[in-house]
């Protein structure tokens, strides 16, 4: 697009240069027409009809050339204006394209940054989750160990209590038999 812009700019410059050249040619031939008309008047004043006629022919020829160059100048002016408009539109389009590219680059950078941030958050969340899970597992294992130890303590106490209860009952039975043996027997 920049190459096209440069080419159109060159064409605009050439068209404007041609337009100035045509303006110069029109002015030259209009000046020549006026000059030949003055020469024809001078020849008429000097009673030189042949010279006046030749000067008028040249004046008419210069006038026709000036008219031809004027038509070409009008066409060239239209063409130069068309090229200028095309150049301005292309320049505007190029500016819009540059702006769009800048916006897309910024959008791409933002998307890439957000992607990296999301990846970092995912890694952090996974790492954090694994830490949380590890702590939770450790807490559960600690509670299980405590429960198991408590159960063993309670179980051993209940066994001791049962043994103590049995020993106590044995003593009570033994004492009861001792009491029974000391009492006279009633028959």
Contacts of 121 (CB under 8 A, 6+ apart): none
pLDDT value, residue 33 = 95
**Mean pLDDT along residues 111-118:** 89
Taking the alpha carbons at both ends of the chain, their separation in whole angstroms is: 137
Confidence of residue 81 (pLDDT cuts 50, 70, 90): very high
In the predicted structure, residue 155 carries a pLDDT above the cut 70: no
CA-based nearest residue to 33, from 63, 54, 8, 75: 63
User: Would you give the distance in Å from CA 132 to the centre of its chain?
Assistant: 38
The mean pLDDT of the chain is 87
| Residue whose entry in the numeric block shows the structure tokens 């559960």 | 140
Interval 60-79 mean pLDDT: 95
Q: Quick one: pLDDT at residue 127?
A: 64
Tokens of 103: 């916006």
pTM listed for this prediction: 0.54
Residue 185 is predicted with a pLDDT of 61
Q: What is the CA radius of gyration of the chain?
A: 60
pLDDT in tens, 166-185: 888 888 888 888 877 877 66
4-34 pLDDT tens trace = 888 888 999 999 999 999 999 999 999 999 9
Q: Is 47 left (phi over 0), alpha (psi -120 to 50) or beta?
A: left
């Amino acid at each position: 697009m920049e190459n096209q812009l440069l080419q159109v700019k060159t064409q605009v410059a050439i068209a404007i240069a041609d337009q100035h050249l045509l303006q110069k040619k029109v002015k030259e031939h209009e000046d020549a027409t006026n000059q030949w008309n003055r020469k024809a008047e001078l020849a008429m004043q000097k009673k030189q009809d042949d010279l006046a006629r030749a000067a008028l022919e040249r004046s008419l020829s210069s006038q026709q050339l000036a008219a031809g160059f004027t038509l070409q100048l009008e066409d060239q002016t239209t063409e130069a204006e068309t090229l200028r408009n095309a150049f301005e539109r292309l320049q505007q389009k190029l500016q819009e394209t540059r702006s769009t590219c800048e916006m897309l680059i910024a959008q791409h950078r933002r998307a890439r940054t957000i992607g990296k941030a999301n990846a970092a958050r995912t890694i952090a969340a996974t790492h954090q989750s694994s830490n949380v899970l590890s702590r939770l597992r450790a807490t559960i294992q600690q509670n299980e160990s405590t429960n198991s130890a408590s159960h063993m303590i309670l179980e051993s106490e209940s066994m001791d209590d049962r043994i103590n209860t049995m020993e106590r009952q044995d003593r009570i039975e033994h004492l009861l038999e001792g009491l029974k043996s000391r009492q006279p027997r009633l028959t």
